[in-house]
Structures are given as C-alpha cells and as structure tokens.
C-alpha cells in the first residue's frame, strides 16, 4: 500500500465533508446568531473526520460514489460533534480543551454549549432525512443512526462511563462500555456507507464487524495516549481519566497488554472485510494507521 496515495484518498473525503459542513449553519443576523456561532465553532474545528471517511469509503467499497454517502457522512460528524460538546461539560467529563481550543462551554457558556449540542443532534437526522437516496435506504439509515445514538448506544455508553467513576470496572464491563460509547457510532458510519451504496446484508454484517473491532482498538489507543502522550500532541488535557478516577484498559491491564489488544482487534477488522467488497485496500490501510496513531 502506498501511504501517499492512501493519504490523498483520505484528504479527498475530508475535503468533501469540510466543504459541505461549511455550508451549514450560516444564519447570520438572527437573534440566535451566537448559538449558530457556537455550533460552527465546534463543527468546523477540524478533527480527523474518521467516521465520515469510513462511511464514504464503505459506500465506495460496495460500488457507490463518495458523494452518494456525503449527507450521511456529514450527519455522522454532526452527531459526533454533539457528543464531544456534551462530553466536555462540567457535569460530564469537565474538559476545558478540545482539538487544541477551549471547549465549547468555556468559549460560549454552559447553556449555549448544551443547546449547540442539541441542535447538532437534531440537524444530523434532518440531514439524513433530506438525502437524495431512495426512501427505503433513507429510512434504514435514520433507524441505524438513531439506534447507535440512544440509550443502547452512545448515551448508554456515556452513562456507564460516568457512573463507573470511582469504581474498578471489570474487563467485560469495559468491553460493554466501549462497544456502546465508541464502537456504536463507528459501526453506524460503516453501515450507513453500505446502505448509501446499495450494498448487501452480508456486506452490512462485515462492515459492522470491521467497525466494532476498530472501534475497540480506537478507544484502547485513546486510553494509552491519555497515559503516554502530551497535551500539545492530543489537543486536549491528558491524564483526565486518572483524574476522574475512571477505569480504562490502560489502568486495568497495562500499556503492553493494551498494545497487543489493539493489534489483535485491528487484524480482526481486516479479516472481517477480506473478500466481501470490491476493494478494501484503503479500509485495510486505515485500520492499521488508526492502530498506530499518536493523537
């Protein structure tokens, strides 16, 4: 695999998403202009756009065009940004920095940050509903994203995370937490891509298995980076898990075991999609790059 060509493909997806997102929430001169500014502040703050890229590349892998999944990719980024805004709130993780900038509630105040997150969550589903894909696909996409974002997905995972502060969670409890909090949205991104491209039920299952595995590897890597990285590299505070007395795989098992788990889950992801799609070169490369990331 040629890293330069893979990075070019990643950049193409990211550029499409950034351009489309920049066209949204442009209402200036309204009485709620500060709310719109707060939304754009976090939505356009950069980030890796990994979930959006996964969505678009799975669409391409089943024979669709990148642009077929663009609305779905933007919806996923809006939903993801909402979770970041709310995660940083004092009542949640209480982080003052995000992506190298003051968190939304630090910059705009707590109630504005809450409403910015709420508006982004609603906009994610509005964007999906307006997609030009056939109505059956759109309905399935809405169902998929809503299931991933509710009590059985992101919200439930965040509850388990916050309610587990001060307690020593088991490995099984951590696996459940990460499956809901992190892997659920990555899985939704992959499956939305398959739906946008008109893929099969077998490809949907393979996409889910891939995403579940890289989602777990992604979160374990986050745990490790929270221990060994710097605030400058991550663009957010380090050591916050320990400060909040949270159980993580790094604290439970140590860095060396975590590195082995990341490698195992990455290979599991690659195996899940082998032979199931037209071309998995990019998705295979992405899984390995994410496993090695430094921020």
CA torsion angle 119 50 279 142 (round to 10): -20
Q: Which CATH class is domain 3-292?
A: mainly alpha
Note the pLDDT of residue 138. Answer: 96
Residues in the chain with pLDDT < 50? none
Note the pLDDT of residue 16. Answer: 97
| Token pair 């894909």 in the structure block, residue | 133
Note the pLDDT of residue 230. Answer: 59
Model-wide pTM > 0.85: yes
Mean pLDDT, the chain, integer: 92
Note the pLDDT of residue 242. Answer: 57
| Token pair 């439930």 in the structure block, residue | 156
Note the pLDDT of residue 169. Answer: 86
Which residues contact residue 152 at a Cβ distance below 8 angstroms, ignoring those fewer than 6 apart? Answer: 180, 184
| Token pair 């059956």 in the structure block, residue | 136
Which residues contact residue 80 at a Cβ distance below 8 angstroms, ignoring those fewer than 6 apart? Answer: 51, 185
Interatomic CA distance for residues 283 and 45, integer angstroms:
25
Note the pLDDT of residue 165. Answer: 80
């Amino acid at each position: 695999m040629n890293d330069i060509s893979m990075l070019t493909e990643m950049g193409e997806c990211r550029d499409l998403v950034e351009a489309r997102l920049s066209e949204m929430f442009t209402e200036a001169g309204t009485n709620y202009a500060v709310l719109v500014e707060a939304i754009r502040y976090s939505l356009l703050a950069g980030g890796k756009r990994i979930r959006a890229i996964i969505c678009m590349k799975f669409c391409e892998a089943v024979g669709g065009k990148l642009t077929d999944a663009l609305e779905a990719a933007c919806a996923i980024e809006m939903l993801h940004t909402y979770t970041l805004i709310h995660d940083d709130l004092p009542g949640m993780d209480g982080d003052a920095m995000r992506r190298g900038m003051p968190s939304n509630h630090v910059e705009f105040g707590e109630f504005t940050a809450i409403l910015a997150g709420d508006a982004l969550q609603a906009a994610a589903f509005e964007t999906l509903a307006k997609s030009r894909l056939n109505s059956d696909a759109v309905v399935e996409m809405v169902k998929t994203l809503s299931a991933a974002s509710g009590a059985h997905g992101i919200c439930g995972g965040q509850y388990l995370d916050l309610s587990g502060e001060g307690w020593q969670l088991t490995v099984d409890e951590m696996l459940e937490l990460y499956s809901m909090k992190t892997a659920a949205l990555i899985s939704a991104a992959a499956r939305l891509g398959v739906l946008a491209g008109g893929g099969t039920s077998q490809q949907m299952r393979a996409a889910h298995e891939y995403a579940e595995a890289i989602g777990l590897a992604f979160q374990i890597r986050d745990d490790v980076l929270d221990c060994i990285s710097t605030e400058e590299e991550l663009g957010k505070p380090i050591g916050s898990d320990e400060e909040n007395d949270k159980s993580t795989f790094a604290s439970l098992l140590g860095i060396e075991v975590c590195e082995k788990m990341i490698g195992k889950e990455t290979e599991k992801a690659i195996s899940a999609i082998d032979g199931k799609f037209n071309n998995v070169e990019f998705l295979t490369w992405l899984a390995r790059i994410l496993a090695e990331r430094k921020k």
